[in-house]
Each structure stands twice: as structure tokens, then as C-alpha cells.
């Protein structure tokens, strides 16, 4: 295939100039929505994957897919729910191709100033939670995070994870009991 000349690039660029028209939001609306959701989304992605760098990549991908969504999104709650649904699917895809550097436990406990006892205790407790979460099945982790960190309803969780709404209560009960047991184990250890 022949190389593209500058004028070819210009021509294609002009043809593609209105590419952002495919986004269902303009830049200002996106900025507002992003500022409301980005931190929570990053928190979910980082805990669900256990990898901060992967969370960065997935964050960009999630918003890109969100912007190109063709589904009608009525209100902010619906948009937010849809965003987390995309993120959940991306996390699931990412789990199918595991990375060697995944599941990094925060090392701030080792580097914290020992005089700041509350900081060390807080960080240690968070590491315990992350270790305990890492020992759960991915679906249990998603269920618990969406329910208790995100505050999603059973219906929203079911839609995000592709489960039946009626089964969420039982699955949550089991996952909760397992995580509580692991946390108690960490407390004792």
C-alpha cells in the first residue's frame, strides 16, 4: 500500500473533523459529569483490578465508551449507573488477560511515620481490606464494592454484573459473610 501524503492526511482529517459529534455530550457537560464521577470510578477500577496503572487505562477507556454510547441516558443517576456498567465489563475483560504486575498492595504502611499512629493504623486497616478483597472471587468483590462502597441498588448491581435481581440478596449475603470472616482473620492475625 502506498504511503499517505500530507494532503491525504488533511483530506481524511477534514472528513473526520466532526468525529466528536458522535459523542452524546458536549465538552462542558462532560467536564461536569467527569468531575462528579472520576474519583469514584477510579476507586472502583483500582480496587476491582488491584492495579493502579491498569485503573488509569480503564478509566480512559470507560469514558470513551461512555461518550460514544448510543443508549438513551435520561438523568445523571442513569448516566452514572451506565458508566459503572461499562467499567464492570472492562474489568471483566481485563481479568481474562491477567498482568504480571497486578495486585499491588499499598506500601505506605512501611513508609508511614511511626509517630503518626492513626495514619499507620488507618493505612494498615486499608491494606487488610485490600488483602481480604483480593482473596475473594472477582464477582464477590464487584458485588460488595457496588453494594457498600458505591451504594448501588440490587437492580443496578444485577444489571452491571449481568445477574438476576432476585439472586443478588443471597450472593451478597455469602460474599459479605466471607469478607467478614477474612477481616476477622486479619484482625486476629
Partner 1 sequence: MDSPTRDCPREDDVLEAIARDRLAGVEDHLASCAICADLAAVARALRDDHAAACREAQPPSAAIVWWRATIRARAEAARTVSQPITILQGVAAACGIGLACGTATLVWPSLRAFAAGVDLVARLDARRDDLAAVSTLAAHYSLPLLLAVAACLVIAPFAVYLALNDE
Which residues form the interface with partner 1 (CB under 8 A)?
1-2, 4-5, 7-8, 11-13, 15-17, 19-20, 22-23, 27, 30-31, 34-35, 38-43, 46-47, 56, 59-60, 63-64, 67-68, 122, 125-126, 128-130, 132-133, 144-145, 148-150, 169-170, 173, 176-177, 179-181, 183-184
Q: Which is nearer to partner 1, 39 or 155 (CB)?
A: 39
Min dist CB 100 to partner 1, Å, is: 23
Min dist CB 115 to partner 1, Å, is: 20
Min dist CB 173 to partner 1, Å, is: 5
Query: Which grid coordinates belong to 120?
Result: 499507620
Q: Which is nearer to partner 1, 47 or 81 (CB)?
A: 47
Q: Which is nearer to partner 1, 43 or 120 (CB)?
A: 43
Min dist CB 153 to partner 1, Å, is: 12
Min dist CB 110 to partner 1, Å, is: 16
Contacts of 82 (CB under 8 A, 6+ apart): 66, 69, 71, 73
Query: Which grid coordinates belong to 170?
Result: 443471597
Q: Which is nearer to partner 1, 12 or 103 (CB)?
A: 12
Report the Cα 186 to chain-centroid distance in Å.
25
* CB 23 within 8 Å of CB 68: yes
Which string of b and e fits 27-56 if b means at least 16 CB within 10 Å?
eeebeebbeebeeebbebbbbbbbbeebbe
Q: Is 26 helix (H, G, I), strand (E, B) or coil?
A: coil
Task: Tell me which long-range contacts 124-130 makes (C-beta under 8 A, separation of at least 24).
Answer: 128/183, 128/186, 128/187, 129/183, 130/47, 130/50, 130/105, 130/106
Q: Which is nearer to partner 1, 57 or 159 (CB)?
A: 57
Amino acid at each position: 500500500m502506498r504511503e499517505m501524503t500530507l494532503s491525504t492526511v488533511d483530506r481524511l482529517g477534514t472528513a473526520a473533523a466532526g468525529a466528536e459529534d458522535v459523542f452524546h455530550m458536549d465538552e462542558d457537560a462532560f467536564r461536569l459529569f467527569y468531575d462528579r464521577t472520576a474519583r469514584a470510578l477510579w476507586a472502583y477500577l483500582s480496587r476491582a483490578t488491584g492495579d493502579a496503572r491498569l485503573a488509569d487505562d480503564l478509566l480512559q477507556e470507560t469514558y470513551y465508551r461512555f461518550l460514544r454510547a448510543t443508549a438513551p441516558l435520561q438523568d445523571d443517576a442513569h448516566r452514572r449507573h451506565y458508566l459503572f456498567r461499562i467499567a464492570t465489563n472492562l474489568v471483566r475483560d481485563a481479568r481474562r488477560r491477567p498482568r504480571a504486575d497486578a495486585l499491588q498492595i499499598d506500601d505506605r504502611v512501611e513508609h508511614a511515620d511511626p509517630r503518626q499512629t492513626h495514619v499507620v493504623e488507618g493505612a494498615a486497616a486499608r491494606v487488610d481490606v485490600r488483602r481480604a478483597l483480593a482473596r475473594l472471587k472477582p464477582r464477590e468483590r464487584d458485588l460488595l464494592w457496588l453494594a457498600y462502597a458505591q451504594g448501588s441498588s440490587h437492580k443496578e448491581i444485577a444489571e452491571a454484573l449481568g445477574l438476576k435481581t432476585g439472586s443478588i440478596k443471597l450472593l451478597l449475603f455469602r460474599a459479605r459473610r466471607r469478607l467478614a470472616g477474612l477481616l476477622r482473620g486479619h484482625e486476629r492475625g
